[in-house]
Amino acid sequence: MLAFRSEAHAGSWCRERGIARGAVFTAEQAWALARGWYEGRLDPAWRRRTPEEAERIFASAGLTGPFWRLV
Amino acid sequence: MTHVDRRVRLAILERFAETGEAPTAADVAAAIGEYEGVVAEAYSRLADARLLVLGTGTRDIWMAHPFSAVPTGFRVETERGSSYANCVWDALGIPAMLGTDARIETTCADCGESLELRVRGGDLEPLDWVAHFAVPAARWWDDIGHT
């Protein structure tokens, strides 16, 4: 997952490499995703999330749809 | 995950946070008072569980998310030390995991312009940038080095 100055920069990067545009989302969403995913990871009882749990974290950051589907 | 696996996983993350470097099995063994061979076996199990990524054919850590053992374009400084993250998600994940403020140095992947991100008191700034994932979530582990 890379950072870009703007959505236009992300589009330019994809075009130059001939790759399909993936998912573009805001810095706020990236921060929400990082917090949802990584907070609590230093808890000794932490365990790897199930695909359903991971999808819920994506959704809590507003990241939904086929791109984010794991189940 | 076994009791040893849990202790090894935590020791790896704590070591990365302090030094920015991947600990060897011997380092972790010394830190938690276990035999090196026991820790090395835990490394393999954690890699099988996708909680570590090892270098091909080795027991050397490449990634222990959110940390990278090799320099990347995502450098993170916290009160605990400097380290590298695997991507911008992981760069943000380091202060999220540690519960600390952070300064993240990266660049726009398109134009190369510097992007310095700061986390202070649980808030991120600036917010005038976007993130892009090239690969759908279900395929991230096809090649975890490229997402």
- Whole-angstrom Cα distance, residue A34 to residue B44? 26
pLDDT for the residue numbered B147: 66
CB contact under 8 A, B93 and A38: yes
A47 touches B at CB < 8 Å: yes
Q: What is the pTM of this model?
A: 0.94
B30: which residues sit within 8 A by CB, 6+ positions away? Answer: none
Instruction: Dump pLDDT digits (tens) for B70-105.
Output: 999 999 999 999 999 999 999 999 999 999 999 999
For chains A and B, CB pairs below 8 A equal 141
Q: What is the pLDDT of residue B54?
A: 96
Contacts of A37 in chain B (CB under 8 A): 89, 93, 96
Instruction: Kindly state whether A64 is in contact with chain B, defined as any CB-CB distance less than 8 angstroms.
Output: no
Q: How confident is the model at residue A19 (pLDDT cuts 50, 70, 90)?
A: very high
**Between β-strands A2-4 and B81-85, what pairing exists: parallel, antiparallel or unpaired?**
unpaired
Give the list of residues 6+ apart from residue B71 with CB closer than 8 angstroms, or none: B84
CB contact under 8 A, A41 and B97: yes
- Searching chain A, which residue's CA lies closest to the CA of residue B127? A27
Q: What CA–CA distance (Å, rounded) separates B134 from B34?
A: 41
User: What is the C-alpha radius of gyration for chain A, rounded to an integer number of angstroms?
Assistant: 14
Return phi, psi of residue B33, to 5°.
Answer: 70, 40
